[in-house]
Amino acid sequence: MEITKLNQMFEALLARPQKKRLVAAWAIDSHTIMAVHQAVEMGLVDAILVGDEAIIKKVCAERKLDCSKLRIVHSKGDTEAAALAVELINNGEGDFLMKGLLSTDRYMRAILNKEKGLMDPGSILSHVTVAEPLNYHKLLIFGDVAIIPLPDLNQKIAITNYLIRTAHFLGIDTPKVGIAAASEQTLPKIPSCADGAILAKMAQRGQIKGAMVEGPLGFDLIIDKESAEIKGVHSEVCGDADCILFPNIEAGNTFYKTIIKLLKSELCAIVMGARVPCVLTSRGDSEQSKLYSIALAAMLA
């Protein structure tokens, strides 16, 4: 089943025989608690909330939520909560992690902890977003917008593979990946253009598998076939991309916030590369985006 709308992930999860277990770190804010509670009520996951128990119960009471459906593990602060949540994952009590009302750096520090974190040697963490843009004809999977500021070629290979893997989990057999750059020309002095050409050739030679990869491409060519035809670029990826690899965090993060704030699109986001998927949405993201992110992580767990 190919998932073409974010809410179709719910149906896919309900068809599975066993629910995955979510562990939310410093889950004391109403958006996180309500999203987790809704996911539990819908039968998508089981859940553990790690945070100040009194605050969690207060939020549940204010929102008229049945907190007995949630397991609460008390912690005094956000750093302690992140460490406890990771420990629960490592102890086999959870299948994926979620960020609550703590900063991204503290959340990531717990994941990256060399002794008690969730990383295997040599692994590369990357942020993957799946969006449902209002004026595009399919879902868009893109990265990195939050973790790697200026990815080198090896990191771009890893990010591309994470995008492809996510697309496969969403039922897209051969996703089309556009490598975004300043120009569609192969210009050696512009790293995004040179790397785009290398990544495309790697895919042609079978070094990147399971997708059709084209690059370098200007953003207009990735999402608009007419622009590609006008510029004389002929590729099945142009105007029909499933995935976009951004050259740096400024480009990716600006796109992420533009489609949320200006275009009012729904999306979900996770971190890949750790031993389990890790939900990483902005603290300002909507309850619905958090719910979709829970569903995406549960699908990949």
* Closest-CA residue to 251 (of 173, 184, 192): 192
In a domain, 71, yes or no: yes
Q: What is the CATH number of the domain that holds 35?
A: 3.40.50.10950
Q: Judge contact between 112 and 147, C-beta under 8 A.
A: no
Residues 293 and 250 in one domain: no
Residues 31 and 94 in one domain: yes
Residues 208 and 292 in one domain: no
Mean pLDDT of the chain: 95
Q: How many domains would you assign to the chain?
A: 2
* CA 213 – CA 166 distance, rounded (Å): 15
Cα–Cα distances in Å, from 8 out to 2, 141, 292? 9, 15, 10
Q: Is it the case that residue 282 has pLDDT exceeding 80?
A: no
Q: Judge contact between 109 and 80, C-beta under 8 A.
A: no
Residues 154 and 216 in one domain: yes
Residues 251 and 292 in one domain: no
Q: Is it the case that residue 29 has pLDDT exceeding 80?
A: yes
Domain span at residue 197 reads 126-259
Q: What is the CATH number of the domain that holds 219?
A: 3.40.718.10
pLDDT confidence of residue 284: 67
* CA 267 – CA 141 distance, rounded (Å): 10
Residues 174 and 242 in one domain: yes
Question: Can you give the pTM of this predicted structure?
Answer: 0.94
Q: How confident is the model at residue 285 (pLDDT cuts 50, 70, 90)?
A: confident
Q: Is it the case that residue 283 has pLDDT exceeding 80?
A: no
Residues 40 and 67 in one domain: yes
Residue-wise pLDDT tens digits, 59-105: 999 999 999 999 999 999 999 999 999 999 999 999 999 999 999 89
Residue-wise pLDDT tens digits, 234-248: 999 999 999 999 999
pLDDT confidence of residue 281: 81
Residues 106 and 199 in one domain: no
In a domain, 280, yes or no: no
